[in-house]
Amino acid sequence: MRYTDQLREAAGDQWNRVIHHKFTKDLAAGTIDHDCLKKYLIQDHRFLDSGVVLFASMIAKAKTLEDRIPGCQFLALLTGKENTYFERSFEALKVSQEERSSIPNAACTTEFCDFVLSVAATGSLAEMLAVIVACEWSYLSWGELVLEEHVRKDFYCYEWVDLHSGDYFTSVVEYLRSLLDKEVETMNDAEKKACQTRFLETVQLEEDFFDFAMKK
């Protein structure tokens, strides 16, 4: 069994709760409450910056140019197409810059951002990858699961699914998993345990974030 499969298995039922979360189902169906979606988008856009820092740090620690290139290409998508999706969605949902600025960070946003920035600053390459794999693989998993329920009506619903499903995003997750699987080949048990801890912490934060978005 691949090491990354072992990590997912260790997450157990919590992994399934994340990838089958009501937020993802309602988003794909286009029935999500707009206040919940606005709340999610405002907070998740703030997380984007921390995510970019972590991804850039992982790229810098990668061992070869071959290992870095796919990461750089995906980083360009995060800072381009994905960031633009947020801005277009705020405009369509009539979320003003003033409103975005006046709303404080949710506790889960602060916790997630602090966690990611700490791993970026002090974590090993494997620990960084463990966090990124948990984030991107869980999103790919729910993105693929909701495709049959995917209603192409409001772009701020269906484009978020598009960004987290399909051949390209699948290849990104496989690239990240492969890097982590390769990295653990030379790690001792304590280092592997540290990676598992990071992975499980990330899955918990993902669930907390979805739960927060759905609270009215």
State the catalytic residues: 206
Ligand-binding site membership of 44 (annotated): yes
Residue 82 annotated as binding? yes
User: Under a CB-based contact definition with an 8 Å cutoff, are residues 198 and 115 in contact?
Assistant: no
- Would you list the DSSP string of 68-119? HHHHHHHHHHIIIIIHHHHHHHHHHTT--HHHHHHSPPPHHHHHHHHHHHHH
Q: 191: annotated binding-site residue? A: no
First-residue to last-residue Cα distance in the chain:
41
Which tokens sit at 190? 């304590």
Binding residues: 44, 82, 136
Binding residues for substrate: 44, 82, 136
